[in-house]
Structure 1
Amino acid sequence: MPMRIIDMATFVSLARNRHFGRTAQELNTTQPAISSRLTILEREYGCRLIERGDREFRLTAEGERALSTFQDVLDQLTDLRSELKNGGEGASHIVRIGAIDSVVGTWMPDFIEALRQSMPKLRVELTIEGTRDLVAGIQRGELDLIFGIEPAIGDAFRSFILCYFEMVWAAAPATIERELVYGVDELSQMPLVTFPKGTPPYAYVAPYFQDERVLASKLTSSNSLFAMINLVIGGFGAAALPTVAIARELRDGLLERMKVTKPFPPMPIVATYQTAVGQNVLRLVAEEARRSAERFCETAAPDSAWAPMPPR
């Protein structure tokens, strides 16, 4: 798990309070959470930052260096927030964001509203595309931050997983036997709706059947999640879909969650942002996205969406 702003802020508070309990109280959290954040930092840097013994609390030499750097970074972020709020030179900053349908239809509205509240002078340009096009866009420098199911790879990018979405097989009620538990062989005999061959979402579906040839004869494809949902509602076939994207359709009886013998793997939502241009602003925007995704996961139906767990 990558180091977060909250981890740096926790370390600075811990160094000031010299006590885990007081730090937890100040930050309105628990002592185990403070310890977990410290562990993240020490794993990130590969060294101990604090010597912890009986009645002793002392920063190591590495901890002293980290404290100075973290304080400078947090001060710069505070100045940047103030600048964006109050109309400094960053007031006209534009962030070009790209996202897949699954994000746009779930926590994206909350994310945009959170940006409006925290950085009202920031302008957002939103592009909705598939993961393959989003990755190509950020690699060409046309996008600053993307949310897809795969990261952009390279030294110029920073990526991390925001959340996971449960994936289920769904179909129109009239096209399936409600009580039947479908095995892979039964599913392979059905008409299927999926993303086009060669796209990252298709790469999640094909291994489920172990042989891509079973998809060739009864496949309807679309590069739009919402178009796929409408095709499935229309009876064109079954599809593997994120539960959170079809919650309303399931509730209204337009779609039925199929019983299957082989669960479908969850779909990761990955954030990637450029590190060469506007890194400070993009880091703040990416952290806001993390918080928005976490809030969504907390309110979503149980087991339908979850944030990654920090390492123990």
Structure 2
Amino acid sequence: MDIKPLRYFIAIAKTESFTKAAQQLSVAQPAVSMAIKKLEMDLGLTLIHRADRNVGLTDEGKKLLIHAEKIIQATDDALLEMSELKGLSQGEVRVGIPSMLGSYYFPPILMAFHHKYPTITLKVIEGGTWQLQKMLENGELDLSVIVAETLPDGLETQALIREEMLVTVATDHPFSQLKSISPERFFDEELVMFKEGYFHRRIVDKLAKDYHRTPKIGFETNLIPLIKSITQQGFGISTLLAMVIEDDDELITRPFEPAIWLDLGIAWRKDSYLSKANRAFLEFVSEHGRREF
């Protein structure tokens, strides 16, 4: 079977449009339509509903999509490995990094890596750990930083960093007089939180569930400077990693009681081929970026 129609089929499934798929693939729309019709004829099945402008997969199409994605990923891995055996490297690392680490932990590591390997292109995607994990599983990323305790069977991980989640308050907040903060007292306050899908928020939501509490979330934002500003002005409290707090932030941090530690690792798919560029990045992070657990 020619795999090119499978690439077209996946693009249609993701964009829900023949036109958008053709634009994404940089081919003419008639070529996409003809390839899909031939694929359906070869299989003897209808794969796509075509109702006016609404394009969707049939039940048969949904089943084929699962196999098509695996076939394309395996083919791309094989082509990359074969090219590297001839001494040709793709020279690209696609890595997902949660926003908090992307802003405060990884910049010097990324710059040092680029200095050592100037011919390797780094594509850094920032987002929530859940979103990044899904992108990694779908082959949209080569590597991603994830919360180690949520590692699914299809991924392997290398320990990276262990950080404590700290209650963060304004300098004049009553919590500043305490040595530690219980979850009960934390959830009595109005909170400034990251949006759902970020490890910061997932940890807080899990903690609330464990203590049978409903968080009083006054502000939701993924912008760390805004979280700091709102907290500084006393409009709520938050919880951040120690690495995020700087000397001039005018914020006070206190540990939870009991303490909450977050184990983060850098992960990749078990069944994928890691290019030389990705292996170089893993080794570099292990040598220069890892904090002991």
Q: Distance in 2 between matches of 1:222 and 1:116?
A: 31
For residues 113-141 of structure 1, give each alpha carbon's deviation from its aligned partner in whole angstroms, at most 9, with x where no partner exists: 23223322111111111101111111221
- Equivalent pair of 1:107/1:292 in contact (CA under 8 Å): no
1:270 aligned to 2:265? yes
- Equivalent pair of 2:193/2:217 in contact (CA under 8 Å): no
1:201 aligned to 2:200? yes
2:127 is aligned, of 126, 129, 135, to: 129
| Structure 1 residues 112 and 186: alpha-carbon distance in aligned structure 2, compared to 1, 3 A threshold | closer
| Structure 1 residues 253 and 135: alpha-carbon distance in aligned structure 2, compared to 1, 3 A threshold | closer
Q: Distance in 2 between matches of 1:113 and 1:153?
A: 30
State the partner residue of 1:145.
143
Q: Distance in 2 between matches of 1:259 and 1:180?
A: 10
Q: How big is the alpha-carbon RMSD for the aligned residues of Structure 1 and Structure 2?
A: 2.8
For residues 55-111 of structure 1, give each alpha carbon's deviation from its aligned partner in whole angstroms, at most 9, with x where no partner exists: xxxxxxxxxxxxxxxxxxxxxxxxx9xx9xxxx521x52111110123223331222
| Structure 1 residues 107 and 259: alpha-carbon distance in aligned structure 2, compared to 1, 3 A threshold | closer
| Structure 1 residues 120 and 131: alpha-carbon distance in aligned structure 2, compared to 1, 3 A threshold | same
Q: CA deviation at 1:213?
A: 3.4
Instruction: For residue 162 of structure 2, give the secondary structure of its aligned residue in structure 1.
Output: strand
Instruction: For residue 284 of structure 2, give the secondary structure of its aligned residue in structure 1.
Output: helix
Letter in 2 for 1:169: V
State the partner residue of 2:292.
307
For residues 252-308 of structure 1, give each alpha carbon's deviation from its aligned partner in whole angstroms, at most 9, with x where no partner exists: 251112365x143111221012451334432221121122223xxxxxxxxxxx422
2:115 is aligned, of 111, 117, 130, to: 117
- Equivalent pair of 1:193/1:232 in contact (CA under 8 Å): yes
How many residues align? The count is 205
Instruction: For residue 252 of structure 1, give the secondary structure of its aligned residue in structure 2.
Output: helix
1:172 aligned to 2:170? yes
- Equivalent pair of 2:129/2:197 in contact (CA under 8 Å): no
State the partner residue of 1:163.
161
* TM-score under structure 2 length normalisation: 0.61
* TM-score under structure 1 length normalisation: 0.57
- Equivalent pair of 1:114/1:288 in contact (CA under 8 Å): no
State the partner residue of 1:211.
211
State the partner residue of 1:20.
none
- Unaligned stretches of 5+ in structure 2? 1-80
Letter in 1 for 2:292: A
Q: Distance in 2 between matches of 1:278 and 1:259?
A: 39
- Unaligned stretches of 5+ in structure 1? 1-79, 295-305
Q: Distance in 1 between matches of 2:156 and 2:182?
A: 39
Letter in 2 for 1:211: Y
Q: CA deviation at 1:224?
A: 4.2
Q: Distance in 1 between matches of 2:182 and 2:136?
A: 39
| Structure 1 residues 164 and 221: alpha-carbon distance in aligned structure 2, compared to 1, 3 A threshold | same
| Structure 1 residues 233 and 257: alpha-carbon distance in aligned structure 2, compared to 1, 3 A threshold | same
2:283 is aligned, of 287, 301, 306, to: 287
- Equivalent pair of 2:163/2:261 in contact (CA under 8 Å): yes
- Equivalent pair of 1:101/1:226 in contact (CA under 8 Å): no
1:255 aligned to 2:254? no
Q: Distance in 2 between matches of 1:185 and 1:278?
A: 45
Q: Distance in 2 between matches of 1:259 and 1:280?
A: 41
Instruction: For residue 211 of structure 2, give the secondary structure of its aligned residue in structure 1.
Output: coil
For residues 157-205 of structure 1, give each alpha carbon's deviation from its aligned partner in whole angstroms, at most 9, with x where no partner exists: 3212211012211111133353245443332221112233465433322
Q: Distance in 2 between matches of 1:116 and 1:199?
A: 27
Q: Distance in 2 between matches of 1:259 and 1:141?
A: 37
| Structure 1 residues 121 and 283: alpha-carbon distance in aligned structure 2, compared to 1, 3 A threshold | same
State the partner residue of 1:187.
186
- Equivalent pair of 1:130/1:223 in contact (CA under 8 Å): no
Q: CA deviation at 1:241?
A: 0.8
Instruction: For residue 291 of structure 1, give the secondary structure of its aligned residue in structure 2.
Output: helix
